[in-house]
Amino acid sequence: MKLLKMLLFVFNVLLSLSAHAEKITVAAAADLKFAMDEIVTAFKKTNTSDEVEVIYGSSGKFNTQIQQGAPYDLYFSADIAFPRALAKAGLAASEVKPYAVGRIVLWSANMDASKMTLESLLDGKIAHIAIANPKHAPYGKRAEEALRSTNLWDKVETKLVYGENIAHTAQFIQTGNAQVGIIALSLAVNPELAKKGSYWLIPKKLHQPLEQGFMITKRAENNALAKRFADYMGSQSVRTVMTKYGFVLPE
C-alpha cells in the first residue's frame, strides 16, 4: 500500500510538472546564433521544465513567414524595421524592443583579413566574395551599402556569392567557396570562427546602422513563457553576453 501511494504521488508530481511546462519557438536572425545559444542555456537554468526552441535564419524571410501565419512566438530581427512593420499590421502582442546594433566585418579563413580593407577585394587573387543576400538579409544589405559607399560594388559584383543568411555566408568562407566575405562581428568573435580566421571591422560610417529589435508575436499573446523570455532579454546577464559578441546595446 505504501509503495502504491508513493507511486501515485510521483505520478501526480510528474503530471503537475507536465501541465505547467510550456514551450516557445523563437525565430532569430542568424547573427544571434552564438549569443542566443548562451542566453537560452542560462534562461533554462531557472526555467528547467520549459522548452525554448530557436530557429535561425534570414530576418526578411522570417518576416514573410510570420505574415503567412508561421508558428513563431518571438521574432528577433537584424533589422528593427521588419518587426515594426508587423506590429503596425497587428501581428505583434508586445511593443517592438530594440536589443542591439550590429556591426559588419571583412572576414577570411585563409587570408589575413586584419590587414585588409574593402579596397583589398579588388585583388585578382580573390575570385569569390561572400555576402548575405541583400534582398532579404539585413547584413547583406549593409554589406552592399558599404561596397557602394566606397565605389566598389560595380567592380566586385561579378565576384559576389550570396548566402541565404549571415551564418550561411560564413560557411561559404569557412569551406573555401569564397576567399573572403562580409559577415557579422558577432560571428567573427565567436571562438569557433575566431580560431579559424581573422577580421577587419568595417567603419560604421559606410552603411546604415544595423538596429535590431524583437517582439512577441500575436500567436503568443497569452503565452506566459514568451513574456518571461522577453523580460529576461533585458537582464544584466543577457547584456553581458551580447556585449561579449560585439553588439552595441541600447541604453
User: Could you give all domains of the chain from N- to C-terminal order, each with its CATH number?
Assistant: 22-101+210-244 (3.40.190.10), 103-206 (3.40.190.10)
Contact by Cβ (8 Å): 106, 187: no
**CA pair distance 137, 238, nearest whole angstrom:** 24
**CA pair distance 87, 21, nearest whole angstrom:** 28
- From the number of C-beta atoms within 10 Å of its C-beta (0-12, 13-18, 19+), residue 17 rates as exposed
**Residue that is written with C-alpha cell 531557472 in the block:** 46
**Residue that is written with C-alpha cell 546595446 in the block:** 249
Contact by Cβ (8 Å): 99, 246: no
**CA pair distance 237, 209, nearest whole angstrom:** 24
Q: What is the pLDDT of residues 185-211, one digit of tens each?
A: 999 999 989 999 999 999 999 999 999
**Residue that is written with C-alpha cell 510570420 in the block:** 66
Confidence tier at 20 by pLDDT (50, 70, 90): low
Q: What is the pLDDT of residues 29-78, one digit of tens each?
A: 999 999 999 999 999 999 988 999 999 999 999 999 999 999 999 999 99
**Whole-prediction pTM value?**
0.87
**Residue that is written with C-alpha cell 521544465 in the block:** 49
**CA pair distance 21, 53, nearest whole angstrom:** 14
